[in-house]
Amino acid sequence: MSDEEKKRRAATARRQHLKSAMLQLAVTEIEKEAAAKEVEKQNYLAEHCPPLSLPGSMQELQELCKKLHAKIDTVDEERYDTEVKLQKTNKELEDLSQKLFDLRGKFKRPPLRRVRMSADAMLRALLGSKHKVCMDLRANLKQVKKEDTEKEKDLRDVGDWRKNIEEKSGMEGRKKMFEAGEN
């Protein structure tokens, strides 16, 4: 056996030992919790449910039965009230969750198709046979005449910009600019 194999085996053995120790601790903790719950249950029963003492006479037994029936009635009323409250709160929770769902917009939207429809067709679809007015949207548009501005005239007069550049380039262009400056 090599040194590495011994180390691996020792590591796995240690892991298994730690795992078994943890499981033993968990089992003892579970047993302690179960015993504590049982003691708590016994204390609660001793506090809320006194031991039953059966009387010897018929009259006392009937009175005991009446008391027990009264207690059963009050407990049933409380149980009914709590059930109704629970149902109300569950209904409120469902409503609120539905509102949240609606607000978040998680519902799937259907794919919409683009439909070409004229204004007349739209009015006919909305109003049905009542629609008799023809709606020509372009009829009421204002007519605007385009006025020539000075800039546009200047641009038309200048012509092609490439000609101006070619004329000014080179020594000839410089000579023309110099001669234009002397005059």
Residue range 133-153: average pLDDT?
Answer: 64
Share of the chain above pLDDT 90, in %: 34
Residue 98's SS3 state is helix
154-174 pLDDT per residue, tens: 665 555 566 666 666 666 666
- Domain extents in the chain: 13-49, 57-109
Read off the pTM.
Answer: 0.32
Residue-level length of the chain? 183
Q: What is the model's pLDDT at position 112?
A: 78
Distance (Å, rounded) from C-alpha 86 to C-alpha 159? 87
Between 53 and 150, where is the model more confident?
53
Contact in structure between 123 and 135 (CB atoms under 8 Å): yes
Say yes or no to pLDDT of 115 above 90: no
